[in-house]
Amino acid sequence: MTRQSAHAFSAPILLAVFLASCAERDTPDQLRAQLESVRVGTPPTMPANQPASEFTAHAYPVADDGNAVTPFGAPASAPNEIDINERPRQRGARQPLEDVPLEAIRLVGTLSRDGRTEALLQVDKIVYPARAGDYLGQNFGVIRSIEGRRIELEELVRNGGNWEKRMTALELQGSGK
């Protein structure tokens, strides 16, 4: 047999096998019906519940001295050194006048509009508007009130390891009208 006659002979056989395999395929409806019969005929299986193991409490004696080690780690101790870069908890992002010493900030006026009063604060030759609640100064000062020619500030100052509140005021600079 030559190579061409072998190909000519095998091609019809392969075509017949292929077509026969396609004829035996189930339609989607037949497949759904077969799956449903399998589902109905199979009893549901649930895993058996395992009883919980008994809990046994163990006593853990701890000495009352300050050097006692516990399974939860070493006892917390107060820090000996104060981190000068530590900031007290404040709301919001850092504001531009927080890095300026209070001595370099001048109150140059106030504005009232829509029932709200804003202070005009000058640093170098730049004037910044500020409202009650804004932060300014290096001692974490927050503006508590703006009244005509005066701003009341509440600052937080370190005293030992604690933060203490201190009230400060900025007075209007210049002649004022």
Q: What is the pLDDT of residues 108-122, one digit of tens each?
A: 988 888 888 898 889
pLDDT bin (cut points 50, 70, 90) of residue 19 is low
pLDDT tens-digit series, residues 7-17:
566 777 777 76
DSSP secondary structure code for residue 140 in this structure: T
Global confidence as pTM = 0.49
Q: What is the mean pLDDT of residues 12-41?
A: 75
CA angle 101, 81, 69 (to 5 degrees): 150
pLDDT tens-digit series, residues 51-91:
878 878 877 666 666 555 556 555 555 555 545 556 666 66
Burial (CB < 10 A; 0-12, 13-18, 19+), residue 8, is exposed
Q: What are the phi and psi torsion angles at 139 (to 5°)?
A: -100, 30
Euclidean distance between CA atoms 142 and 139, whole angstroms: 9
> Does 165 have pLDDT greater than 70?
yes
Residue-level pLDDT at 95 = 82
> Does 160 have pLDDT greater than 60?
yes
Q: Which two tokens stand for residue 96?
A: 């531009």
pLDDT bin (cut points 50, 70, 90) of residue 28 is confident
